[in-house]
């Protein structure tokens, strides 16, 4: 839809956030896979001493949305570091074997 000058009016999106979703889900690991048409991001909670890590949430996005997410994360990390200092990455990614079990697999 365009106005009389041929410009699109600013669109506003109302976002509903239920109490359950607003609480959030803690994850301390993310694994990402992709195909030619989508990116799959699994948010995982890994607990010390527990042999099984659980996927707490799976988000599937288009490649275009994945790139916008990357840009938004970079922008927010830059703002965070400007306000609170550089984020220490420690020793890098945790080193442990991960296998994705299928239902019924131990």
Answer yes or no: is 53 within a domain. Answer: yes
Answer yes or no: is 101 within a domain. Answer: no
Q: What is the mean pLDDT of the chain?
A: 86
Mean pLDDT over 77-84 rounds to 97
Could you tell me if 78 and 87 are in contact, meaning their C-beta atoms sit under 8 angstroms apart?
A: no
pLDDT of residue 63 exceeding 60, the answer is yes
Q: What pLDDT score was predicted for residue 10?
A: 75
Answer yes or no: is 57 within a domain. Answer: yes
Beta partners for residue 33, in sequence order: 40
Question: Domain total for the chain?
Answer: 1
Answer yes or no: is 60 within a domain. Answer: yes
Answer yes or no: is 7 within a domain. Answer: no
Nearest of 85, 20, 87 to residue 57 by alpha carbon: 20
Q: Tell me the residue length of the chain.
A: 106
Answer yes or no: is 48 within a domain. Answer: yes
* pLDDT tens by residue, 31-46: 999 999 999 999 999 9
Answer yes or no: is 17 within a domain. Answer: no
Parent domain of 53: 25-84
Answer yes or no: is 2 within a domain. Answer: no
């Amino acid at each position: 839809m365009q106005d009389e000058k041929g410009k699109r009016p600013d669109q506003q999106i109302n976002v509903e956030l239920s109490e359950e979703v607003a609480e959030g889900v803690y994850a301390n690991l993310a694994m990402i896979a992709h195909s030619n048409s989508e990116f799959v991001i699994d948010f995982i909670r890994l607990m010390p001493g527990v042999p099984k890590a659980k996927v707490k949430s799976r988000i599937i996005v288009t490649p275009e949305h994945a790139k916008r997410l990357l840009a938004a994360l970079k922008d927010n990390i830059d703002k965070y570091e400007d306000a609170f200092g550089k984020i220490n990455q420690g020793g890098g990614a945790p080193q442990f074997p991960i296998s994705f079990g299928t239902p019924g697999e131990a």
